[in-house]
Structure 1
Amino acid sequence: MAKFGSWGNLVRAEHIIEYLTDSYSLPEYFVKHLKNNSRDDYGHKVLPLGNGRSYGDVCTNSNGVLLKTEFLNHLISFEPEKMTLECESGVMLKDLQRFLVPNGFMLPVTPGTQLITVGGAIANDVHCKNHHMFGTFGHHVESFTLARSDGSILNCSAGENKELYRATIGGIGLTGVILTAKLKLKPVAGPWIDAENIPYGNLDEFYSIARDSEAGYEHTVSWIDCITGNGERGIFMRGNNSGDTAYKCIERNIKVPFMMPMSLVNKLSLFLFNKMYYFAQTVKKSKFKAHYEKFFYPLDNILEWNRIYGPKGFFQYQCVVPMENGFDAIKEMQRVISESGQGSFLGVLKTFGDKEAAGMLSFPKEGFTYALDFPNLGEKTKKLFSRLDSIVNEANGRLYLAKDARQPKELFEKGYGTDVINEFVKYRDPAVSSDLSRRLLGF
């Protein structure tokens, strides 16, 4: 037994930690150790775990088993002519990218950190700054092998076990243990992004820039100031992969040395940071060349950055609201957050395209997505979230399960649809459970 908590540091609970050292032993493990212990009290249910970078309780299984996949970290094949790569599920995206880029390829979609595993990227169907062109990670998973607690290992793709394939992509780890995956790649000249920063003063300007940028720019995203001024100004960032072939690897890390005794994120620090950040971005050169690691993963060079929020931890609140209701919803959320005096250093606002969802419980849909980190201030934060939930609910939006730690079951069911959820439940593995699944799905 050992204590484990997710990246948000909200709760650290006792778990049985076990390590999957090879894919061949898993079926026997499932059958002998789990199948006969799938009790109603969930005491011996298992949850596959990659690098544990989810923010909420999607990656915790209190008093149950965490089956870590970090030793499933081998490359199986690389076929440049087919633009595909096959690897085990515990491989980190950082390692894949650093192998692929010198060889003229990248993963088409990665999230805001590359310190996650391939299995985690599939299970949470992560997205990037290029959803309008490339969709989600799941859109580029050609196939995977999935171990189930009945001892079977199934090949899953759009043509084979296709419903289980769709249930597993975005299925938050509940359909079994992903062992290997075959991924589609995109060609690139090198590690550089031709980028541009555009300051804007309000959400109307943001929407105009976003709409004008989507046709000509692969990567579009915005930092938004949620605390100072009128609570709407920000910096719009857009870019395309550069034709520059000069290779460079970044390895400059700083580390937050220990857990802060209290959160360093407060009303004063938020006001000063957001004011200085906005000013710094407006005076710098608007067009520049950025290394992909700096452009895509700005926080990865700050190791253990979650410690700045102190021992009570923090929440990330990420929603998506449909385009037809989203503009007014984001405006109202900005007003409510600004009034609350709570907020985030790194408020992220961007648009999703009209790509069909890759998985049954995939988060993105066409509209606006907004993500912010909030220090855990107890009841004060809960009251703020209740108000934000009401706005999201009214706009027919939903919250991202990979970031969630507390949303009401009613919001989950409306946001994802009870018909879709009931269809997904058919494909869950009865030996698998998590704190999130017990909270929102009842198992």
Structure 2
Amino acid sequence: MALLDSDLATSWLARGLGRSYGDTAVNAAGAVVDMTRLNRMRSFDPETGVLECEGGVSLSEILEAFVPRGWFPPVVPGTRFVTVAGAVANDVHGKNHHVDGSFGNFVESVELWTPGHGVITCSPAEEPELFWATVGGVGLTGVILSLRLRLRRVESAWISADYERCPNLDAALDTLDATDRDFPYSVGWVDCMARDESLGRTVLMRGRPAHPSQLPPGRAGRPLEIPRRMNVSVPVDFPQFILNPYSIRAFNDLFYFLNRPVAGRLVDYEKYFFPLDRILHWNRMYGRRGFVQYQATFPMEGRAGLRRLLEKCSLARRASFLAVLKRFGAAGNGLLSHPMPGYTLTLDLPNTPGLEPFLREMDQILLEHGGRLYLAKDAAAAPETIAAMYPRLDEFRDVCRGVDPEGLLGSDLSRRLNITTGGGADHE
């Protein structure tokens, strides 16, 4: 607290584990405060499942402490290496959004330090405007010191997963529409290189929590334990020529045909929810240039836009071998929360020449079909694009002016997109 109350810099930002893909947690014009040591768990109520913890506690630490006791975070993104404060600030979503919504739905209250008013406790009932500006507010309303989060009871640490091939995008979306109500968790891997009648062919991976009786005899007596695995590391940056349309097409063909249809495959939670967490430095596979992650969400009536986006990637040979499709449920209450009812597609695009104008063309497709980008993944959008995609942006700016009247909180993202200022330069 003494550090926060001191004169840190003219512009500063709190940062957790740094898993956002763009410039959300970068502040080249000022200071960044590492919050990961604010990581104590204060209390837990086994009757309600409410955990009170500091903002630097990671989902990984919660999983290690509470899965053996039969509790699980209500929403998890694709990595467990995020802090709870980061999960709130980006209102993260997971494979169960179509049923449960995003992370903010399970946060009962937040203890927030603000530049203008010091520490404020906010919740959906107390200071609700500030609370819902903080949920999804990418760290621009203040520093999340602690929060109260509702965990969920589980009987095992395993998922009963069904794998199904869909020959094209329409078949995948139709299947999600028809069956998502039967599966609390669902996700699809999409082949972005496929064309014509196979455009958007998908492997769907839908799951339900496994009951201990479904586990094999060796596991049934220990349903909350999972196998211990060794991490695998990518030791060096791959040469740029290795990642090309031909190698990615070969990978996609292999992945599609290896994942044969099966029902009730038992998968532990680490393998189902966090498949990349055991591959250290996996980003090195993209070489020194790296990649840009692009998450596009279309409303339910925006199928044609999703098809156009895939066609554009396929024809431009801008391949992604990690393309993920999900169906979103109800929109969140956060002023800048990303999800809306519809479909979301996440692409990892190699950072090759001409990528930025290509992304702007993708943005235009999104705008024409009523879609939006996810701020936690954005790296190149224009301010007017985000303003058109987030209709409550002016409400968010009003809240920021109230808690940070001097404009001390800032990030490269906020300056690039004029998030807090509405068109002018950020306060420096």
What TM-score do you get using the length of structure 2 for normalisation? 0.91
How far the C-alpha of 1:420 sits from its partner, in A, is 4.0
Q: How does 1:82-97 map to 2 (within 5 A)?
A: 82-97=48-63
Cα pair 2:326 2:344 within 8 Å, conserved:
yes
- Given candidates 276, 284, 309, the residue that maps to 1:333 is 309
Cα pair 1:92 1:118 within 8 Å, conserved:
yes
Change (3 A) 1:286 1:240: closer
Cα pair 2:160 2:267 within 8 Å, conserved:
yes
Cα pair 1:314 1:374 within 8 Å, conserved:
yes
Cα pair 1:234 1:278 within 8 Å, conserved:
yes
Change (3 A) 1:30 1:392: same
The answer for the alignment partner of 1:51 in structure 2 is 17
Deviation by residue 1:391-441 (Cα, 9 ceiling, x = unmatched) = 101011110000001111111000002544444543563221100000111
Residues in 2 aligned to 1:168 and 1:382: alpha-carbon distance in whole angstroms: 29
Q: How does 1:218-257 map to 2 (within 5 A)?
A: 218-229=184-195, 230-244=198-212, 246-249=223-226, 250-257=228-235
Change (3 A) 1:301 1:163: same
Residues in 2 aligned to 1:113 and 1:177: alpha-carbon distance in whole angstroms: 22
Letter aligned with residue 309 of structure 2: M
How far the C-alpha of 1:248 sits from its partner, in A, is 2.2
Cα pair 1:191 1:292 within 8 Å, conserved:
yes
The answer for the alignment partner of 1:5 in structure 2 is none
The answer for the alignment partner of 2:374 in structure 1 is 400
- Given candidates 298, 304, 314, the residue that maps to 2:291 is 314
The answer for the alignment partner of 2:359 in structure 1 is 385
Cα pair 1:124 1:172 within 8 Å, conserved:
yes
Change (3 A) 1:56 1:322: same
- Given candidates 31, 43, 48, the residue that maps to 2:5 is 31
Letter aligned with residue 371 of structure 1: T
The answer for the alignment partner of 1:258 in structure 2 is 236
- Given candidates 90, 102, 107, the residue that maps to 1:141 is 107
The count of corresponding residues between Structure 1 and Structure 2 is 405
The answer for the alignment partner of 1:13 in structure 2 is none
Deviation by residue 1:237-261 (Cα, 9 ceiling, x = unmatched) = 1111111262323432101113334
How far the C-alpha of 1:286 sits from its partner, in A, is 4.1
Letter aligned with residue 292 of structure 2: F
Deviation by residue 1:48-73 (Cα, 9 ceiling, x = unmatched) = 00001110011100141110011111
Instruction: Give the alignment's Cα RMSD to 1 decimal.
Output: 1.6
The answer for the alignment partner of 1:118 in structure 2 is 84
How far the C-alpha of 1:390 sits from its partner, in A, is 1.3
Residues in 2 aligned to 1:359 and 1:114: alpha-carbon distance in whole angstroms: 22
The answer for the alignment partner of 1:267 in structure 2 is 245
Letter aligned with residue 31 of structure 1: D
Letter aligned with residue 243 of structure 1: H
Residues in 2 aligned to 1:78 and 1:291: alpha-carbon distance in whole angstroms: 25
The answer for the alignment partner of 1:166 in structure 2 is 132
The answer for the alignment partner of 1:7 in structure 2 is none
Q: Name the stretch that deviates more: 164-173 or 211-220.
A: 211-220
Change (3 A) 1:424 1:374: farther
The answer for the alignment partner of 2:218 in structure 1 is none
Change (3 A) 1:343 1:243: same
Task: Determine whether 1:416 maps to 2:394.
Answer: no
- Given candidates 245, 254, 264, the residue that maps to 1:276 is 254
Task: Determine whether 1:361 maps to 2:336.
Answer: yes
Task: Determine whether 1:198 maps to 2:164.
Answer: yes
Deviation by residue 1:241-300 (Cα, 9 ceiling, x = unmatched) = 111262323432101113334364321121110010001012x64430110111011111
How far the C-alpha of 1:311 sits from its partner, in A, is 1.6
- Give the secondary-structure state (helix, strand or coil) at the position aligned to 1:155: strand
- Deviation >4 Å, runs of 4+: none
The answer for the alignment partner of 2:269 in structure 1 is 292
Task: Determine whether 1:152 maps to 2:130.
Answer: no
How far the C-alpha of 1:382 sits from its partner, in A, is 2.1
How far the C-alpha of 1:86 sits from its partner, in A, is 0.9
Cα pair 2:359 2:380 within 8 Å, conserved:
no
Cα pair 2:386 2:417 within 8 Å, conserved:
yes
Letter aligned with residue 334 of structure 1: L
Residues in 1 aligned to 2:337 and 2:367: alpha-carbon distance in whole angstroms: 18
Identity in percent: 40
Residues in 2 aligned to 1:175 and 1:335: alpha-carbon distance in whole angstroms: 39
Residues in 1 aligned to 2:69 and 2:257: alpha-carbon distance in whole angstroms: 38
Change (3 A) 1:263 1:135: farther
Residues in 2 aligned to 1:236 and 1:62: alpha-carbon distance in whole angstroms: 40
Residues in 2 aligned to 1:382 and 1:239: alpha-carbon distance in whole angstroms: 36
How far the C-alpha of 1:389 sits from its partner, in A, is 1.0
Residues in 1 aligned to 2:58 and 2:4: alpha-carbon distance in whole angstroms: 24
The answer for the alignment partner of 1:371 in structure 2 is 346
Cα pair 1:256 1:304 within 8 Å, conserved:
yes
Cα pair 1:213 1:220 within 8 Å, conserved:
no
Residues in 2 aligned to 1:428 and 1:387: alpha-carbon distance in whole angstroms: 36
Residues in 1 aligned to 2:41 and 2:411: alpha-carbon distance in whole angstroms: 28
Deviation by residue 1:80-108 (Cα, 9 ceiling, x = unmatched) = 10111111111110110121111111111
Letter aligned with residue 316 of structure 1: Q
What TM-score do you get using the length of structure 1 for normalisation? 0.88
What are the ranges of 5 or more consecutive residues in structure 1 without an aligned counterpart?
Answer: 1-25, 39-44
Cα pair 1:53 1:115 within 8 Å, conserved:
yes
- Give the secondary-structure state (helix, strand or coil) at the position aligned to 1:47: strand
- Give the secondary-structure state (helix, strand or coil) at the position aligned to 1:246: coil
- Give the secondary-structure state (helix, strand or coil) at the position aligned to 2:6: helix
How far the C-alpha of 1:138 sits from its partner, in A, is 0.6
Deviation by residue 1:369-400 (Cα, 9 ceiling, x = unmatched) = 11000110122x22321221111010111100
